[in-house]
């Protein structure tokens, strides 16, 4: 699920001019150039359809509320846990409870309450559901079956190049003398690794998200264990009731 910490996030790409180069650069067509180096996995269409089906089920089952137990692991080895509450009916609602903060977003407004600090409230954009995927950026799929309670579940991992990799990989710097220098950024080190654990009918059981930039974990490794049958009450954002 999209977390509070990633709401309205902007990806800023900084290109440093190479020694002896002008600031002029050009890019190749993204999809064409990317697929030349990273062909589509053979089962891409079916895997994308299954992922989106699971996301639709998650949103449908969250109309009257659902929850998720959240496990976070950071690059320095520290861990955190928490709970998420989702309502996909209008006004959409996301309530995150963590060890160090409590965040509630409803409609286009939200508040973040940190321990021993004043609440921070304002307008936010957020999207409920599994992370959006771009099939044109997916370059690896790992698909297997694992035990899952009384049945077996499909464990589907989609590896997708980040926007940074797609935007910068293929940039060509032009020297003052006309020499062209390509800049290459490896999707292997700039990627989202999205793992969906779902029942055969597509009902999501768990979802894990890993985001790498330059081979370094960006934000926590986050795992969400869903309870789509939870009986919950919709909280009210103060000032909106």
pLDDT at 59: 97
CB atoms near residue 94 (< 10 Å) = 23
Beta strands in 59-203 (DSSP E): 66-73, 79-87, 93-98, 101-106, 109-114, 120-123, 138-148, 151-161, 171-175, 180-183, 191-198
Cα–Cα distance between 157 and 220 in angstroms, integer? 17
pLDDT at 108: 87
pLDDT at 175: 65
pLDDT at 2: 46
pLDDT at 124: 79
Cα–Cα distance between 159 and 153 in angstroms, integer? 19
Whole-prediction pTM value?
A: 0.82
Residues 6+ apart with CB under 8 A from 162: 11, 187, 190, 191, 192, 211, 212, 213
pLDDT in tens, the chain (241 residues): 544 333 222 223 333 444 444 444 444 445 667 788 889 999 999 999 999 999 999 999 999 999 999 999 999 999 999 999 999 999 999 999 999 899 999 988 899 899 889 988 998 788 899 999 999 999 999 999 999 988 999 999 999 998 766 766 556 666 667 776 666 678 888 899 999 999 999 999 999 999 998 899 999 999 999 999 999 999 876 644 4
How large is the greatest C-alpha to C-alpha distance in the chain, in angstroms? Answer: 68
């Amino acid at each position: 699920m999209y977390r509070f910490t990633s709401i309205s996030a902007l990806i800023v790409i900084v290109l440093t001019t190479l020694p002896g180069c002008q600031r002029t650069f050009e890019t190749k067509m993204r999809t064409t150039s990317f697929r030349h180096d990273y062909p589509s996995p053979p089962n891409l269409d079916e895997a994308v359809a299954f992922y989106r089906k699971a996301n639709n089920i998650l949103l449908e089952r969250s109309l009257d509320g659902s929850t998720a137990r959240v496990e976070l692991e950071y690059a320095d080895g520290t861990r955190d846990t928490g709970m998420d509450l989702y309502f996909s009916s209008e006004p959409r609602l996301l309530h995150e409870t963590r060890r160090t903060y409590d965040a509630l977003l409803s409609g286009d407004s939200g508040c973040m309450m940190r321990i021993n600090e004043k609440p921070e409230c304002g307008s936010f954009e957020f999207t409920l559901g599994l992370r959006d995927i771009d099939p044109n950026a997916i370059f690896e799929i790992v698909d297997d079956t694992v035990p899952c309670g009384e049945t077996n579940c499909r464990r589907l991992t989609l590896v997708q190049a980040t926007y940074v990799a797609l935007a910068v990989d293929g940039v060509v710097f032009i020297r003052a003398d006309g020499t062209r220098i390509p800049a290459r950024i490896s999707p292997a080190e700039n990627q989202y690794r999205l793992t969906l654990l779902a029942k055969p009918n597509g009902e999501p059981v768990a979802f894990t998200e890993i985001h790498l930039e330059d081979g370094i974990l960006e934000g926590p490794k986050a795992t969400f264990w869903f309870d789509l049958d939870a009986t919950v009450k919709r909280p009210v954002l103060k000032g909106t009731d």
